[in-house]
Amino acid sequence: MEKLPKIALPFVFVGIILIIVLAKSAVTIDAGHAGVLYETLKNGVDSDKEPLGPGFHIIAPWNRVIDYETRQQEIPEKMSVLSSNGLDIQLDASVLYEPDVKNLGKLHNEKGENYLKRVLQPAVRSAARSVVGRYTPEQLYSSKRDAIQEEIFLETKKIVESQYIQLNSILIRDVTLPPTIKDAIERKLKQEQESLEYEFRLVTAEKEAQRQRIEAQGKADANKILSASLTDKILQDKGIEATIKLSESPNSKVVVIGSGDTGMPIILGNQ
């Protein structure tokens, strides 16, 4: 009984070693992540090797895996930039990005795990300074915001796409101008809006006046044509027709023929 622990001791030792080796060799990578294998006995990360995908992996215990998130990620960026006339503009943006999974080994070797601060953020700030410097505060505040957003995205993409970073979008959430400039722009925009409304009312009134003039002219022309066509002969014929119709009605009346200045019949009713 006293010798049994001494005999079992090597097995216990071997078991502990195996547990340690297995613990160091087993690697689990979560969904939305990938692993870069660092081979200690070789030259570190082989950039030509495919990264390890999600799931369970066995590696040599002396190697290690560097984990990278491969899903789309967002970083908020607040930047202070200058407009074309030298005014300080504050931009609040969101940068949507993800690493280039196929070149994850190259990204690790050349940029490292901290590639966000080393590459992406400086690129976004440089592009923002370049783009905003071409516009006035008024353009930044109103009509050109979408164009500026697109230009910053394209310029940043040119910088980072060759550095194994996939840029998906840059969204400008807010543009903050100096209070005095902002108030002046808002007053100007309000005045322009009021001017447009006034011009619209003038155009509408002019169109209505033109319509009334055309309508009045049409009525005048119609009356002129009608007056020219009503000769004495036509009026007499119309009077005779009216006399015949009235004489045929059952109501009692007196018809005086050949009276009046024009010789037209005078109809006296029964009232």
The 10s digit of each residue's pLDDT in 194-224 is 666 667 777 777 887 788 888 888 777 777 7
Share of the chain above pLDDT 90, in %: 24
Instruction: Single out the residue in 42, 69, 96 at which a domain terminates.
Output: 69
Pick the more confident residue, 192 or 176: 176
Q: What does pTM read for this prediction?
A: 0.60
Instruction: Single out the residue in 155, 177, 199 at which a domain terminates.
Output: 177
Question: What local confidence, expressed as pLDDT, does residue 89 receive?
Answer: 83
Question: What local confidence, expressed as pLDDT, does residue 19 receive?
Answer: 66
In this structure, are 84 and 161 located in the same domain? yes
Map residue 40 onto helix, strand or coil: coil
Question: Among the ranges 6-15, 83-92, 147-156, which has the highest mean pLDDT value?
Answer: 147-156
In this structure, are 225 and 238 located in the same domain? no
User: What does pLDDT average to over the chain?
Assistant: 78
In this structure, are 121 and 141 located in the same domain? yes
In this structure, are 93 and 17 located in the same domain? no
- Average pLDDT, integer, range 19-43: 81
Q: Rg for the chain (alpha carbons), in Å?
A: 47
In this structure, are 89 and 152 located in the same domain? yes
What's the number of domains the chain is made of?
A: 4
- Asked whether residue 131 carries a pLDDT value surpassing 60, the answer given is yes
User: Tokens for 120?
Assistant: 């992406």
In this structure, are 202 and 243 located in the same domain? no
Please write the tens of the pLDDT for every residue from 216-235.
887 777 777 766 665 666 65
Angle at CA 55, nearest 5°, toward 54 and 56? Answer: 140
**CATH code, domain with 98:** 3.30.479.30
Helix, strand, coil percent values for the chain (each to nearest 5): 50, 25, 25
For residue 72, give Cα distances in angstroms to 95, 152, 163, 198: 10, 19, 17, 50
Give the dihedral sign, CA 84/90/94/100.
positive
Map residue 250 onto helix, strand or coil: coil
Where in the sequence is the domain holding 125, given as residue range(s)?
Answer: 73-177
In this structure, are 58 and 96 located in the same domain? no
In this structure, are 82 and 163 located in the same domain? yes
- Average pLDDT, integer, range 31-55: 86
Give the dihedral sign, CA 100/106/110/112.
positive
Question: What local confidence, expressed as pLDDT, does residue 238 receive?
Answer: 64
In this structure, are 125 and 137 located in the same domain? yes
Q: Which residues of 225-252 are buried (b: 16+ CB within 10 A; e: fewer)?
A: eeeeeeeeeeeeeebeeebeeeeeeeee
In this structure, are 78 and 150 located in the same domain? yes
- Asked whether residue 105 carries a pLDDT value surpassing 80, the answer given is yes
Q: How far is Cα 154 from Cα 147, in angstroms, rounded to an integer? A: 11
Instruction: Single out the residue in 110, 143, 177 at which a domain terminates.
Output: 177
In this structure, are 84 and 134 located in the same domain? yes
Question: What local confidence, expressed as pLDDT, does residue 215 receive?
Answer: 82
Question: What local confidence, expressed as pLDDT, does residue 34 receive?
Answer: 92
Q: How many CB atoms lie within 10 A of CB 165?
A: 22
In this structure, are 133 and 198 located in the same domain? no
Q: How far is Cα 264 from Cα 80, in angstroms, rounded to an integer? A: 97
